[in-house]
Homo-oligomer: A and B are copies of this chain.
Amino acid sequence: MTTDQAPTVPPTDRGRRTREAIVDAAAGLMEARGIGATGLGDVLRVSGTGKSQLYHYFRGKRELVLAVIDRQLEKVLAAQPALGEGVGGGPGDEVRAWASSIYELQRDGGGPFACPLGVLSGQVDADPGWREHQAAAFAQWERRIAALLVRGQREGSVDPSRDAGEMAVAVLAALQGGLMLARVHRDLHVLALALDAAVDHVRPRPG
A interface, CB within 8 angstroms of B: 32-37, 114, 118-126, 131, 134-135, 138-139, 166, 169-170, 172-178, 180-181, 183-186, 190, 193-194, 196-198, 200-201, 206-207
Query: Main SS of chain A's interface residues?
Result: helix
Shortest CB–CB separation between residue A53 and chain B, in angstroms? 25
Question: Contact: A181 with B172, CB < 8 Å?
Answer: yes
Residues of B within 8 A of A139 (CB): 185
Closest chain-B Cβ to A128's Cβ sits at a distance in Å of 10
Alpha-carbon separation in the docked complex, A202 to B186 (Å): 24
7 A-B interface contacts by CB (under 8 A): A34-B37, A34-B123, A134-B184, A138-B181, A138-B185, A170-B193, A170-B197
Complex interface: chain B residues within 8 A of A123 (CB): 34, 122
Q: How far is the CA of A174 from the CA of B119 in the complex (A)?
A: 16
